[in-house]
Structure 1
């Protein structure tokens, strides 16, 4: 058999980095992969003597951007920031067969290739980490890949979430996304079903079932792939296919169409920094750095929860949902006072902490995420929405309550202050420049910390193996040690008390009429945390207001639990 030859087409422009690599990749998933073919991919002409394109996987790759690196590098050891989205729903049983779920999952992985990518990193090389994506070699290959990243369980919601947050890491460099479908009512663990293929999937004709089951779906994805908006849009699109009118045969045909249309055109979506290009001369770039640093210097916060140490991390996610009638009343009350429920949540946290704080001299700072997709100058050329597009802003409020003023008036005034600060961040003319500077800073910091963490791990492994470590350089005698410089106008602290993830009205994303046979009733979201992590979530879903607090119960003192209880009480007090 002739060896495939690869030759560049000189008349074509140089392709972008994400398209430069082409691999005749042989994998265990597809025994025919690696066979030469005749096709045109990414500006490269590949010619050979065997005319079967189904037998080869195409490799695409690109470097991670600074923002992606800032999430990837800390995640390597224990999955810090690995996201999850839990959705509880009821559906007829024929909608949740492994064949149907695997086919829909395969379609979504073709449309959003980062979900099916892997991460390649050479040891100690922190500035050249790469996404690598192999396009499926056939429809069967796509279904097999999806099925291998899908698991069926019998755990309930709390068990699913706890095992993901506190157990061994689910994701890895080789598995950056994963689906878990659980039916808690099952009494027996089912035997592993036969791996679906296009033929077996097509032959499953979705015989309508009169039996309705209760299910929990856990969507797992590394944060360096994308953000919360991508996660929720994905869930909507997934359920639209799963609970739609297409039969199993029609879904397989849709998968075939997706595979055929994307085999030579699909590339990895660009990094955040490439989606927000900054123009200007050298003087403007210098001015941007100055403005960014001044903005950072204004971030003053000195309020923190008490910490505990010595116990392993254990994240819990207490969640409260308010019924639809009460939610409507709360939203109406917020509107009457000129704020959104998101601004009100900032004010609730502020008032509750002001009642608890022992030291009130320094203000209270909170941080939140900012959706950057509206600021892209043009829509990305790639159709996938799975990419990072999130920035951060801070809300700073006083940490005391005036004694000569009604607390209800203070609450609504603080809510309007939070609204004004959020709007100022969102409407800043420098938002693109600030995003670029913040990405550079976060990327540099992540690389530095990754090097320190790896060195520490290397030393510990060497010590455990009995390897003699080199002696540290002798310290200077006290008389020879230089005196630390005197601090002139020391910088005030910049510590955030808590982070708020305010997702807004998720019913604007989940068009429930798109999957009428599926009835969603519960949504919980969050991520694996580092020790001492805390994040408050607020959103409306199926007409209800949901508030949840994901935090390391072993990493904080008693005031964290007290804060949560008083926060829910404050909802009753101020929002009714």
Structure 2
């Protein structure tokens, strides 16, 4: 569907983009960005999406108005409108060509905006929209790092009962898509909050047009010192600098290796192979009253919902597996590093950048078969507190910065190695490295297993990010999120939104033994009902 774009340029032709700024802005990808970019090349592994379901007056969602807001925010966050050029495994760059006019900025945003309507067969478009993004041809590319989809569902697909006073509101779904090497979940949610803050404000379209023109002019319409232009910095450039010297580097490396050696896990889901990847995301929203009860219980026990969810998965797995109970269960999660980053003074600085580290939680698997419900509840809260302690130690470690540098370096090197191997296999030039000579078993120390059962993406209380009071015309009721996964990928999402606790399990149903995965998910929900509610 084409949109009619009004010409909103209000500055004279003398105020066009200066020649020094016509050259595209570039910067190399950081190591963490590289570790996400290289696996994404073939099929979009880790491409993120954020879905928001809401009710809104239809006038707010007119394409012209949505496009104006989308354009303003793409100007404020230039990585969204950039592309990636890979010249070599060690030379991968963000490239941003500045729009030479407001109309050019509008047309670029409109080309990355899509409106969809109800599917012809009467089934809910939302399922197909997310399923197509996760399992169909890749939506994003090196030339398109972000994309926005707006869908309007008819009454047959609406899951919200219309109240008499809301008859003027209609159901809409918004899908915000972005590559993971562009940013993280916190960037997605902050962007969505800013998007609706502008879209549902009292500003008329004309006011948004003036805001857009001013936004473009402040960045590209006036002559400025070229040094003030730049793209948002990478994680590694934002981390505080480490002490220099070989000794300090050696200490950091030894500490990192020691911390990794402590990660012991002896459990994983039984896998299947040979089937095309197919990601599914079963999602459950806990009732508001039950969510309040859960929050109260967690507070009384001195833990957050995030810590409790590690213990929920631990108990659920113990009830699912029937062997190796003597080995611990390891789970991994992302660590938000924004609080430790140094401030950037770049002219085009924004919150769209990748700022995550990683940590693991290791918990015992064993539960006595004769344990009563009360004893299991005590075990559960004890393990939730253990998960909290491990999470806190990871976030507040004095070695957090050096470990983040080391992890980024290791992930970047590993991604390059795998990318070269994949490319050589595709060209038919790959040769397996020679096998090392067999080592004397008596001289080789047996390493403990280090298998992770599952990853948890724990986003916390998203109602702290979404300022619902600033866009009261929009009534949000649903939020789901996830990413395109690699074959055999699995990730549990947990967060509160609109006063409810949401749990979703995104996994490749073709890559895991169906019975085990379904029993585990059922045990997760049962554990929530019996231990948390």
TM score, norm. by length of structure 2? 0.88
Contact map agreement 1:126 1:447 (CA 8 A) in 2 = yes
CA deviation string 1:187-238 (max 9, x = no partner): 9xxxxxxxxxxxxxxxxxxxxx984221110000000001000010000000
Between the aligned partners of 2:276 and 2:352, the Cα distance in structure 1 is 33
The aligned runs of 1:410-489 (5 Å cut-off) are: 410-459=379-428, 482-486=437-441, 488-489=444-445
1:221 to 174, 178, 182: 178
Unaligned 5+ segments in structure 2 are 1-12, 119-124, 157-165
Cα shift at 1:113? 0.3
| Structure number, greater radius of gyration | 1
Q: Partner residue of 1:144? A: 107
- Residues 154, 186 of structure 1: 8 Å contact kept: no
| Mapped pair 1:59 → 2:59 | no
Q: How much does 1:483 deviate?
A: 3.9
Query: Residue 415 and residue 475 in structure 1: after superposition, are their counterparts in 2 closer, same or farther (change >3 A)?
Result: closer
After TM superposition, where is structure 1 displaced by more than 6 Å over at least 4 residues in a row?
472-476
**C-alpha displacement of 1:324:** 1.1
Which residues in structure 2 correspond to 1:385-424 (within 5 Å)?
A: 385-403=351-369, 406-424=375-393
Moved more, 53-62 or 309-318: 53-62
Give the Cα–Cα distance (whole angstroms) in 2 for the partners of residues 160 and 369 of structure 1: 27
| Cα displacement (A) at 1:536 | 0.3
* Shift in CA distance, 278/55, structure 1 to aligned 2, threshold 3 Å: closer
Distance 2:461 2:489 in 1: 25
What SS does the aligned partner of 1:224 have? coil
Q: Which runs of 5+ in 1 are unaligned?
A: 1-49, 188-208, 460-468
**2:272 maps to what in 1?**
308
TM-score by length of 1: 0.82
Deviation at 1:380, TM superposition (A): 5.2
The 5 A counterparts of 1:427-576 are 427-459=396-428, 482-486=437-441, 488-557=444-513, 558-576=515-533
- How far residue 492 of structure 1 moved from its aligned partner, in angstroms, is 1.6
Matched with 1:291 is 255
- Aligned with 1:225: secondary structure? coil
Counterpart of 1:47 in structure 2 is none
Match of 1:24 in 2: none
Q: Which residue in the other structure is 2:9 paired with?
A: none
CA positional deviation for 1:354:
1.2
CA distance in 2, matches of 1:89, 1:474: 54
Q: 1:130-169 counterparts in 2 under 5 A?
A: 130-155=93-118, 156-169=125-138
The Cα of 1:106 is off from its aligned counterpart by 0.4
Q: Deviations over 1:413-447 (max 9, x none)?
A: 00000000000001100101000000000000000
Corresponding position of 1:174: 143
- Report the 3-state secondary structure (helix = DSSP H, G, I; strand = E; otherwise coil) of the residue aligned with 1:491: coil
Provide, for residues 542-575 of structure 1, a one-character-per-residue CA deviation record: whole Å limited to 9, x for no partner: 0001001001111100201110011101111101
- In structure 2, the CA distance between the partners of 1:126 and 1:473, relative to structure 1 (3 Å rule), is closer
* Range that drifts further, 492-501 or 148-157: 148-157
Q: Deviations over 1:161-200 (max 9, x none)?
A: 111000000000000000010112299xxxxxxxxxxxxx
Partner of 1:327: 291
User: What displacement does 1:279 show?
Assistant: 2.6
